[in-house]
Chain A
């Protein structure tokens, strides 16, 4: 026969004592487990809410971002179309060029060194593209008895720090000529025709369609040839450039200051500013959309934060409540278990006396009472865990279906319940068990 047999028989005999202790442990453990399960369910609900909110914010921002991107793409497209249509829109002129003369005559009379264009090309300027040095002069085409604008161009000078771009205007080789619309239509000129200009022979390589500007009355030849013909060796009247698409709000001022730094003694004028004003409007629209995006992002983050703060507060209140309730219940139950164990020892003092008389050691007496406490703790722990878990799942905001019940199951908590409950019960029963083991059998048996 073992001590365990004794424990089990005694439990079966004094059911009420066991039941009361069992309920006590079950309540304590159930309280702990229920609280933990509810807290966990709270956390899961929080995670779900925040994830949904986060998704919402992300969706909103993504939508806004798409709008901004569309706006940006629209702007870029518009800019490309506008600038392409404009052709060269920045004109770099010698500083002393009278603009009144330029507008009245169509060409300027002042010159600057051709090397200016190389300086510009070798600089790190980013606000302009496509440099085109030209000499341009209103002359009389005696062979055809016409006044024309003769423009010499050497083709675009690539910017040293940029990738090569498709030139807006092709190079005009020596001995060739490109003729504007009014001239080739009025004079009946066409490609491959050989013509004379200022005594030199040229082959027409290109006849332009109508542009509706002074270009229609212009003849283009190679820059070097034009310089020779006009006695302007190594000089140019102007450098054409194309503003790049990286326009900020005050583009022209920026370009002016950039060029002034590289080429002192020049002036910069802009053509087609009204078209660019439209581009600026688009630019502003983009900026506004970007600001709206930023606002959307910020507002989203803020509302997310508010939600998170709100949930954190709810969780804190729940966990604060549990932090007070659980220890109070546990201590209360511990005291109650100890009291029940004490009653049990008192009730069984004669039994202790006779068991000692027939040879049970005080250690075995201790084992009888502690063993019972551990058993109470173990069974109470299992019942309490099951009960607390069931209540936790049932009360949880998480819909109590099989899956969420599984999510709320915490194996570590189950282990704690099954280890801690017997340990705590043994602790509560420790003093009474010690008292039982210490009882003097002689004193008990002398009751006779």
Chain B
């Protein structure tokens, strides 16, 4: 299994109240899986994604990525583990504002020191139609170009798992299409994708759709990608 989440509980405590963000969630993705997570705002989708990505420890339950338990690793080792196995894509892109497109992608090699990274980065950016944007900073890009840059950064180290949180939330249709089709290809080539989205047409690209309400999975259905 590339991602194995078993009976995970997570609550947030703020003064005066405690929110049960996840309440016994289990999910597993094998190579080739493309799973969408849907649910109303506040249902715990982002929390599930962060816990799956080794960025947020659960209160209870088991998480394994590529058959390893990231939360059993020390903080720095877990960071390197993330760099090697997981690619993140966020709604807000989170590009480093002062780095060029190429450097933003290359930043992923700071923890891994990947060989031949520059060539691969340019290759990926060309694949995403950004070869003429290599030396522009994010501020000079359209939102679609930004998300494609973020996507190139996410996959530079050849991760097995992509965790994407509303990656198309801010995008026009064409850009969204590029991102979603790449995610589909990624899964087809043996990766696994967990896509958080409230966009039905985006979710429909997945092989399966997990529906969450109030921190619980209430339904699992097949998407169009399943066929």
A contacts, CB < 8 Å to B: 1-3, 5-6, 9-10, 12-14, 350-351, 353-364, 441-442, 445-448
A sample of 7 inter-chain contacts (CB < 8 A) reads: A6-B99, A12-B98, A351-B96, A351-B97, A354-B96, A358-B111, A359-B112
In the complex, B4 has a CB within 8 A of chain A: no
Closest beta carbon of chain A to B206's beta carbon, Å:
20
What chain A residues lie within 8 Å of B47 (beta carbons)? 446
Residue of B nearest to A357 (CB): B88
What chain B residues lie within 8 Å of A9 (beta carbons)? 98-99, 103
Bound complex: CA of A51 vs CA of B61, how far in Å? 85
What chain A residues lie within 8 Å of B137 (beta carbons)? 13
Known: A6-B96, A358-B82, A448-B92. 15 other contacts (CB 8 A): A1-B103, A6-B107, A9-B99, A350-B92, A351-B97, A354-B88, A357-B94, A358-B83, A358-B111, A359-B111, A360-B79, A361-B76, A361-B111, A442-B56, A445-B94
Docked-complex contact A364 and B98, CB < 8 angstroms: no
In the complex, B91 has a CB within 8 A of chain A: yes
Instruction: Using known A-B contacts A354-B96, A448-B90, A448-B166, determine if residue A364 contacts B50 with beta carbons closer than 8 Å.
Output: no
Interface contact tally, CB-CB below 8 A: 95
Bound complex: CA of A214 vs CA of B53, how far in Å? 140
B contacts, CB < 8 Å to A: 46-47, 50, 53, 55-56, 75-76, 79-84, 88, 90-92, 94-99, 103, 106-112, 117, 137, 153-154, 157, 165-166
What chain A residues lie within 8 Å of B97 (beta carbons)? 13, 351
Q: What secondary structure prevails in chain A residues at the interface with B?
A: helix
Residue of B nearest to A356 (CB): B79
Docked-complex contact B98 and A359, CB < 8 angstroms: no
What chain B residues lie within 8 Å of A446 (beta carbons)? 46-47, 50
What chain B residues lie within 8 Å of A364 (beta carbons)? 110-111
What chain B residues lie within 8 Å of A356 (beta carbons)? 55, 79
Bound complex: CA of A97 vs CA of B170, how far in Å? 146
Residue of A nearest to B12 (CB): A446
Docked-complex contact A445 and B106, CB < 8 angstroms: no
Bound complex: CA of A161 vs CA of B73, how far in Å? 105
Name the contact of B94 in the complex, choosing from A2, A3, A353 (C-beta under 8 A). Answer: A353
Instruction: Using known A-B contacts A14-B98, A359-B82, A445-B55, determine if residue A1 contacts B110 with beta carbons closer than 8 Å.
Output: yes
What chain B residues lie within 8 Å of A353 (beta carbons)? 94
Docked-complex contact B108 and A448, CB < 8 angstroms: no
Bound complex: CA of A355 vs CA of B108, how far in Å? 8
What chain B residues lie within 8 Å of A448 (beta carbons)? 46, 90-92, 165-166
Bound complex: CA of A2 vs CA of B103, how far in Å? 10
Residue of B nearest to A12 (CB): B98
Docked-complex contact B109 and A1, CB < 8 angstroms: yes
Closest beta carbon of chain A to B221's beta carbon, Å:
25
Bound complex: CA of A441 vs CA of B91, how far in Å? 15
Docked-complex contact A360 and B94, CB < 8 angstroms: no
Residue of B nearest to A10 (CB): B98
What chain A residues lie within 8 Å of B165 (beta carbons)? 448
What chain A residues lie within 8 Å of B83 (beta carbons)? 358-360
Residue of A nearest to B156 (CB): A358
What chain A residues lie within 8 Å of B108 (beta carbons)? 358-359
Bound complex: CA of A364 vs CA of B137, how far in Å? 23
- List 9 tightest A-B contacts by C-beta distance, closest first: A359-B83, A13-B98, A359-B111, A354-B94, A361-B76, A442-B56, A1-B106, A361-B79, A442-B55
What chain A residues lie within 8 Å of B92 (beta carbons)? 350, 447-448
Closest beta carbon of chain B to A435's beta carbon, Å:
16
What chain B residues lie within 8 Å of A360 (beta carbons)? 79, 83, 110-111
What chain A residues lie within 8 Å of B106 (beta carbons)? 1
Residue of B nearest to A13 (CB): B98
Docked-complex contact B80 and A361, CB < 8 angstroms: yes
Bound complex: CA of A12 vs CA of B99, how far in Å? 10
Docked-complex contact B91 and A358, CB < 8 angstroms: no
Instruction: Using known A-B contacts A445-B50, A446-B50, determine if residue A359 contacts B94 with beta carbons closer than 8 Å.
Output: no
Residue of A nearest to B91 (CB): A448
Closest beta carbon of chain A to B106's beta carbon, Å:
4
Docked-complex contact A362 and B94, CB < 8 angstroms: no
Docked-complex contact A441 and B55, CB < 8 angstroms: yes
Residue of A nearest to B100 (CB): A9
Docked-complex contact A363 and B76, CB < 8 angstroms: yes
Closest beta carbon of chain A to B196's beta carbon, Å:
9
Docked-complex contact B50 and A359, CB < 8 angstroms: no
Closest beta carbon of chain A to B113's beta carbon, Å:
9
Closest beta carbon of chain B to A424's beta carbon, Å:
26
What chain A residues lie within 8 Å of B88 (beta carbons)? 354, 357-358
Closest beta carbon of chain B to A354's beta carbon, Å:
4
Residue of B nearest to A441 (CB): B55
What chain A residues lie within 8 Å of B99 (beta carbons)? 6, 9
Closest beta carbon of chain A to B197's beta carbon, Å:
12
Bound complex: CA of A357 vs CA of B54, how far in Å? 9
What chain A residues lie within 8 Å of B80 (beta carbons)? 359, 361
What chain A residues lie within 8 Å of B75 (beta carbons)? 361-362
Closest beta carbon of chain B to A16's beta carbon, Å:
13
Bound complex: CA of A356 vs CA of B117, how far in Å? 19
Docked-complex contact A362 and B76, CB < 8 angstroms: yes
Of A1, A3, A14, A448, most buried by chain B (CB within 10 Å of CB) is A1
